[in-house]
Amino acid sequence: MFQGTGSDVGKSMIVAGLCRALTRRGMRVRPFKPQNMSNNAAVTADGGEIGRAQALQARACNVPLSVHMNPVLLKPESSTGSQVILRGKRVASFKAREYMAARTQFLPEILASFEHLKAEADIVLVEGAGSPAEINLRDGDIANMGFALAAQVPVALVADIHRGGVMASIAGTFGIISKQDAAMVRTFLINKFHGDVSLFDDGVDYLEKNTGRPCAGIVPYFADAWKLPAEDAVALDSPVKGRGDDIKIAVPRLSRIANFDDLDPLKLEPGVELRIIQPGEPLPGDADLVILPGTKSTIGDLADFRAQGWDIDLAGHVRRGGHVLGLCGGYQMLGQAIHDPHGLEGPAESVAGLGLLDVETTLNGEKRLAEVAGMHLDSGEPISGYEIHMGETEGPDRDRPVTVIAGRNEGARDRNGLVSGTYLHGIFASDSFRRAFLAKLGAKAGGVFSYDVAVDETLDALAIHLETHLDVDMLLKIAHG
């Protein structure tokens, strides 16, 4: 199990890289995360949802996604509450304090999922959440040491030297966790190192003597990590840019943005500049396309969108002939109205949408979860992706659908063809569709870029990187006792 001295220290990437490295060695490998918190979810073949990090790790193992890989997924609905997904299905919504009191009830199912994966694998690589040093959260923990002890899984502690204070973060973790928890930690490793590794030899010596644990390695910064899907929205804190300026795409950073990995293929596409517009910034006047991304709270993010003045910017963008694409919650926001008769997102109410599509959405309690494949009508290109949403959208602009999925018309377009919306996620990973879509915006013809190939090549490079800088054999010895 890989736990961190803090959040965003690179646990997900370490696990993904080791999943690929061990798979390349011929081992049967499975990823696992007992409890995840993310609005960036993936859909499994049987209609469940798990965190995107586990989806990437499963891909690194060359195995299908399974709800057992992430049995508890928390999807924040507000600053104080989350939707609880248990083995792929929504079971409840809890305020933070309520969940803290109730979370131990999920441990038996977590352990059962872990045993399920163990039965089909040579090794299971487990990712923790946050840090085990959050001792105020230790009682009833199911994500870090609570799970490690219950399942008797040895722990490797991951620290990020890029943040600074790496020695204090490692030594401090051992200093404040209980002796019982500390006994589960068998090794530590240091991630994201810049420069001459030998300059840290004295630091390693100190930490090994101070903790009594061997160092599994010092991993230099992996420059191509940005090419892999990120689960944590911290990846959106800075503008994301591609490698050219033929096409400019702007994406407003919604406060409850979800499934933002929709943007990853565009981020890698040559000739595309992808800009994440942070709160307080206007939507750029020279954008060719504005994408309204998915959101966990359509009504709440619509209010925030207006508070930023982005509704005015977007209206001006359309008047100038700019294109708009709404994805899932962004699609709902583009309509005339959003109705929440059951109070799923707050008070039962109806609110005016942005009015750029002649459709209205009614939110309901049934979540649609499905992998889909079909055709993009405008280009005639094949398209695949997944649906993960609550709500039904109807109206005259639905007579101009965006895609046909299994004989079913999906999405909506306005009369001018400038504004469109779809419930489909992951569509830009379809290479021929993405090229045709960008060509209509004016992208110049270039070399053929395959998103799936790029991700797999990056996973292979990450695996080689970790094999070079980590003592993988030592980690295997620790794992197998």
- Please list the active-site residues: 328, 425
User: Is there a contact between 190 and 166 (Cβ–Cβ < 8 Å)?
Assistant: yes
| Contact indicator for 231, 282 with CB cutoff of 8 Å | no
Say whether 450 sits in a helix, a strand or coil: coil
Residue 7, CA atoms < 13 Å, CB-side half-sphere = 12
Contacts of 143 (CB under 8 A, 6+ apart): 34, 35, 128, 129, 130
Which pair of structure tokens corresponds to residue 164? Answer: 């600074």
Q: CA–CA separation, 112 vs 114, rounded Å?
A: 5
* DSSP category for residue 127: B
Structure tokens at 209: 């003597």
CA 190 to chain CA centroid, Å, is: 23
- What single string gives the DSSP state of each residue in 197-261? GGGGHHHHHHHHHHHS--EEEEEE--GGGGGSPP-SGGGGSS----S--SEEEEEE--TTEE-GG
Sign of the alpha-carbon dihedral angle for 211, 215, 220, 222: negative
